[in-house]
Structure 1
Amino acid sequence: MERLVLKRKEFTLLQAFIYQHIGISLGDHKIYLVQARLAKRVTQLGLESFGEYYDYLVADKRGVELEYLSSLISTNVTSFFREQKQWEFLKSHLSSILAHTKGRLRIWSAACSTGEEPYSLAMFLAEHIPNFTQYDIKILATDVSPKVLKTALSGIYTHKACMSLDEKYLRKYFSPVRVENEACYRINDMLKKQIIFREFNLVTGNYGLFAQKEFDIIFCRNVMIYFDKPTQSTLVERFHTMLSKEGYLFIGSSEALTDMKREFKPRSASIYQKV
Structure 2
Amino acid sequence: MTATPEVTRFRTLLAAKLGWTFDDNDVSQLDDVLAKRSGSHRLSRTAYLSRLGAPGWDAELTKLAEDLTINETYFYRHGEQFRALADVALPERLQARSAQRVLRMLSVGCSSGEEAYTLAIVARESQPDRDWIVSVLGLDASPAVLRRATAARYSSWSLRETPDDVRQRWFHPHDGYYELDAAIRATVQFRQYNVATPDDNLWRPDQYDVVFCRNLLMYLTQPVRDQLIERMTRSLSPGGYLFLGHTDSLGSRPEGLEPQHTHQTFYYRRRTVPDALRFEEPLVVTPTRTRPAPQEPIESDAYERALRLLHDERFGEALKLIEASPQDRPAPRDLLLHSVLLAHTGRIDEGERLCRRLLDLDGLYADAHHQLAVCLEDGAGTDAAIAQYRLAAHLDPEFAMPRMRLGLLARRRGENRTAATELDRALTLLRQERDDRIALFGGGFGRIALTTLCRTELDACGARR
**Coarse TM-score class (shorter-chain normalised):** 0.7 to 0.9
Question: Per-residue deviation at 1:206?
Answer: 2.3
Tell me which amino acid in the other structure corresponds to 2:83.
E
Contact in 2 for aligned 1:83/1:253 (Cα 8 Å)? no
Q: Output the TM-score relative to the length of structure 1.
A: 0.87
Aligned to 2:61: 66
- Give 5+ residue unaligned stretches, structure 2: 272-465
Question: Per-residue deviation at 1:190?
Answer: 0.6
SS in structure 2 at match of 1:207: coil
Q: What does residue range 80-229 of structure 1 map to in structure 2 within 5 Å?
A: 80-93=75-88, 94-102=90-98, 103-131=101-129, 133-178=130-175, 183-211=176-204, 214-229=207-222
The two structures, once aligned, show a CA RMSD in angstroms of 2.3
Matching residue within 242, 255, 261 for 1:262: 255
Q: What's the CA shift string for 1:122-160, capped at 9, x where partnerless? A: 1112223343x3112111111111111010011111232
**Cα distance in 2 between the residues matched to 1:82 and 1:150:** 20
Aligned to 1:35: 31
Overall identity of the aligned pairs, in %: 27
Aligned to 1:271: 267
Q: What's the CA shift string for 1:85-127, capped at 9, x where partnerless? A: 1112112122222001223211011111000001111111222
Contact in 2 for aligned 1:6/1:35 (Cα 8 Å)? no
**Cα distance in 1 between the residues matched to 2:198 and 2:71:** 19
Q: What does residue range 16-31 of structure 1 map to in structure 2 within 5 Å?
A: 16-31=12-27
Tell me which amino acid in the other structure corresponds to 1:271.
Y
**Cα distance in 1 between the residues matched to 2:31 and 2:252:** 34
**Cα distance in 1 between the residues matched to 2:181 and 2:191:** 19
Q: What's the CA shift string for 1:8-50, capped at 9, x where partnerless? A: 111112111111111101224421122344544455x164754
Contact in 2 for aligned 1:256/1:270 (Cα 8 Å)? no
Contact in 2 for aligned 1:38/1:72 (Cα 8 Å)? no
Matching residue within 72, 76, 88 for 2:71: 76
**Cα distance in 1 between the residues matched to 2:155 and 2:23:** 34
Number of positions where the alignment pairs a residue of Structure 1 with one of Structure 2: 265
**Cα distance in 2 between the residues matched to 1:60 and 1:158:** 39
Question: Per-residue deviation at 1:238?
Answer: 1.0
Question: Per-residue deviation at 1:213?
Answer: 6.5
Tell me which amino acid in the other structure corresponds to 2:165.
K
Question: Per-residue deviation at 1:230?
Answer: 2.9
Contact in 1 for aligned 2:10/2:34 (Cα 8 Å)? no
Aligned to 2:416: none
Contact in 1 for aligned 2:3/2:24 (Cα 8 Å)? no
Contact in 2 for aligned 1:111/1:144 (Cα 8 Å)? yes
**Cα distance in 2 between the residues matched to 1:64 and 1:108:** 25
Question: Per-residue deviation at 1:261?
Answer: 2.5
Tell me which amino acid in the other structure corresponds to 1:99.
Q
**Cα distance in 2 between the residues matched to 1:28 and 1:79:** 28
Q: What's the CA shift string for 1:46-99, capped at 9, x where partnerless? A: 647544543453478342111010111122221111112111211212222200
Matching residue within 232, 240, 264 for 1:247: 240
Contact in 1 for aligned 2:233/2:256 (Cα 8 Å)? yes
Q: Greater Rg, structure 1 or structure 2?
A: 2
**Cα distance in 2 between the residues matched to 1:76 and 1:35:** 20
**Cα distance in 2 between the residues matched to 1:11 and 1:112:** 28
Pair 1:231–1:57, CA change in 2 (3 A): closer
Pair 1:70–1:123, CA change in 2 (3 A): same
**Cα distance in 1 between the residues matched to 2:177 and 2:86:** 29
Question: Per-residue deviation at 1:259?
Answer: 7.2
Question: Per-residue deviation at 1:222?
Answer: 0.4
Bigger mean CA offset, 255-264 vs 203-212: 203-212
Richer in helix (by share): 2
Matched, 1:12 2:8: yes
**Cα distance in 2 between the residues matched to 1:217 and 1:13:** 37
Contact in 2 for aligned 1:112/1:142 (Cα 8 Å)? yes
Contact in 2 for aligned 1:107/1:140 (Cα 8 Å)? yes
Higher relative CO (CA 8 A, sep ≥ 6), structure 1 or 2?
A: 1
**Cα distance in 1 between the residues matched to 2:180 and 2:125:** 14
**Cα distance in 2 between the residues matched to 1:251 and 1:20:** 24
Bigger mean CA offset, 64-73 vs 260-269: 260-269
Q: Output the TM-score relative to the length of structure 2.
A: 0.53
